[in-house]
């Protein structure tokens, strides 16, 4: 038996009020007022497809053995690097074995479902990890800006402790161009919504689904969960009726409180379903984009013993309301800001130096002395214990999963930061080790000496001259 063995999710904490978005743009497009209910998830300035993927993968791995991971596939249409394997960055941030197979899958809204089918039918050894993550930029005042959201989700795939058995799939490959984004273009260009529904969804999805159900002798009314990623609110209901699927099987696309997360939406909704699914229930998962993927799962008894640390429910509960539409525009580089003289310094990364310390910079690896047991970060040639000072005595010691306590902190309005003031200070980790760190997503008045923190993989700096971004770990105050 092969299928899903674990799942995880990440949704950025900030949720932008759609009313604030509509208020800023209805002077130009009055129709946006009809979309002004609810909120959408938005990345902080230091989050992107890679950082969200790390968060979702870590949540998924809370129910898996890291050593069993043999491959990592990352699906997205918004990779920050076009010629650097983004999945390797995710793998190294999680300190996975560097002998695993990694792959980036892109260029379609069904990138994640296509990758999932490939893994399920690829005779994998051990456990594969599929991560889907999306941070799509949109034109200001557009329908997409109102309905889309940022998020990531991850699945473990293998034959041990399967929680959702893979029954089969059907794929239809059709170059139906409902939208596209060409080379050197920042935003998707799409066509009329009704035409996409009638010529796209209503023709491709039934063709794939009916063939799948017939091949496996499954009645449509036996489907318990029908997952159809779309920002068209009424299309899932129309398709369910056409297919003979019960209306109560339709899985909500979370348009009201998150928004549609592009290529990640199918995996995110599957993770949501797995939180409440029971043994024997059938899940029909759809991927739509230049055709259709239809995938069928049956939930097993093992589902009762498999829960991620956070999951979709936990990620939804961690929300923080945001009403500043201009901040959203700034974070997504949709307006040109005066960043001042302090922000103009050259941010070039010397790749040779980065390569020497990437275990620390990407993996957040410190050291533990074999002679005296002292823990330190970063790892150096000599032990920092003055009573030891042993040379070359340190073994790798990971800090990415360690909690910490704020010892000192500063809120600096002179140091350049994309979301001022810049918060930084000394963090002491459980088990030993201290480091000066940046704090991110700090709410004024919510940080103090003694505050508990966790660490998260984030963007440190942008090198806009060369199109490079530097990642490092930052501290977040725990609520």
Q: What is the mean pLDDT of the chain?
A: 96
Q: How confident is the model at residue 125 (pLDDT cuts 50, 70, 90)?
A: confident
What's the confidence (pLDDT) of residue 347? Answer: 81
pLDDT digits (tens, 9 = 90+) for 289-337: 999 999 999 999 999 999 999 999 999 999 999 999 999 999 999 988 8
What's the confidence (pLDDT) of residue 335? Answer: 86
pLDDT of residue 348 exceeding 90, the answer is no
What's the confidence (pLDDT) of residue 391? Answer: 96
Task: Give the total residue count for the chain.
Answer: 479
Please provide the CATH number assigned to the domain covering 341-364+399-477: 2.40.50.840
pLDDT digits (tens, 9 = 90+) for 225-271: 999 999 999 999 999 999 999 999 999 999 999 999 999 999 999 99
pLDDT of residue 364 exceeding 80, the answer is yes
* Tokens coding 200: 């796209």
pLDDT of residue 346 exceeding 90, the answer is no
The structural domains of the chain, with segments of one domain joined by +, span 3-331, 341-364+399-477
Find tokens 């990640």 and name the residue: 264
C-alpha torsion angle, residues 164, 267, 190, 209 (rounded to 10): 0
* Cis check: omega of the bond before 378, within 30 degrees of 0: yes
What's the confidence (pLDDT) of residue 187? Answer: 96
pLDDT digits (tens, 9 = 90+) for 56-104: 999 999 888 887 899 999 999 999 999 999 999 999 999 999 999 999 9
Please enumerate in sequence order all residues whose Cβ is within 8 A of that of 208, keeping only pairs 6 or more positions apart, or say none.
170, 171, 172, 286, 291, 292, 293, 294
C-alpha 145/C-alpha 238 separation (Å) is 24
Mean pLDDT over 446-450 rounds to: 96
Q: Which CATH number fits domain 3-331: 3.90.660.10, 3.40.50.2300, 3.40.47.10, 3.40.50.720?
A: 3.40.47.10
């Amino acid at each position: 038996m092969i299928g899903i063995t674990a799942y995880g999710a990440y949704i950025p904490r900030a949720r932008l009020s759609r009313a604030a978005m509509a208020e800023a743009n209805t002077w130009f497009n009055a129709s946006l007022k009809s979309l002004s209910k609810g909120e959408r998830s938005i990345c902080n300035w230091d989050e992107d497809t890679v950082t969200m993927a790390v968060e979702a993968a870590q949540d998924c791995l809370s129910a898996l053995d890291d050593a069993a991971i043999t491959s990592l596939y990352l699906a997205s249409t918004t990779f920050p690097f076009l010629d650097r394997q983004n999945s390797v960055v995710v793998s190294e941030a999680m300190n996975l074995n560097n002998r695993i197979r990694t792959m980036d899958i892109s260029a379609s809204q069904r990138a994640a479902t296509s990758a999932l089918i490939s893994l399920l039918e690829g005779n994998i050894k051990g456990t594969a990890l599929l991560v889907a993550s999306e941070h799509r930029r949109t034109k200001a005042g557009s329908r997409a800006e109102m309905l889309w959201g940022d998020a990531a989700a991850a699945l473990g795939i293998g034959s041990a402790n399967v929680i959702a058995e893979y029954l089969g799939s059907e794929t239809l490959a059709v170059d139906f161009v409902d939208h596209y984004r060409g080379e050197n273009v920042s935003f998707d260009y799409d066509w009329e919504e009704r035409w996409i529904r009638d010529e796209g969804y209503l023709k491709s999805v039934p063709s794939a689904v009916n063939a799948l159900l017939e091949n496996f002798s499954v009645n449509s009314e036996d489907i318990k969960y029908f997952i159809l990623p779309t920002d068209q609110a009424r299309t899932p209901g129309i398709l369910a009726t056409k297919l003979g699927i019960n209306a109560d099987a339709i899985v909500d696309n979370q348009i009201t409180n998150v928004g549609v997360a592009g290529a990640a939406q199918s995996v995110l909704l599957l993770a949501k379903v797995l939180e409440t699914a029971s043994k024997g229930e059938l899940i029909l998962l759809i991927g739509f984009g230049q055709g259709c993927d239809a995938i069928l799962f049956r939930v097993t008894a093992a589902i009762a013993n498999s829960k991620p640390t956070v999951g979709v429910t936990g990620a939804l509960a961690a929300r923080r309301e945001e009403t500043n539409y201009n901040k959203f525009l700034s974070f997504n580089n949709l307006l040109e800001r005066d960043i001042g003289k302090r922000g103009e310094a050259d941010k070039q990364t010397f790749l040779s130096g980065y390569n020497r310390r990437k275990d620390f910079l990407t993996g957040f690896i410190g050291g533990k002395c074999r002679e005296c047991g002292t823990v330190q970060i970063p790892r150096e040639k000599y032990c920092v214990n003055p009573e030891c000072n042993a040379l070359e005595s340190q073994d790798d010691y990971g800090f990415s999963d360690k909690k910490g306590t704020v010892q000192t902190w500063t809120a600096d309005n002179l140091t350049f930061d994309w979301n001022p003031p810049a918060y930084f200070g000394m963090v002491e980790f459980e088990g030993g080790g201290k480091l000066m760190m940046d704090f991110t997503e700090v709410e004024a008045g919510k940080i103090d000496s003694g505050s508990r923190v966790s660490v998260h993989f984030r963007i440190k700096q942008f090198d806009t001259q060369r199109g490079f971004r530097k990642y490092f770990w930052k501290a977040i105050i725990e609520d």
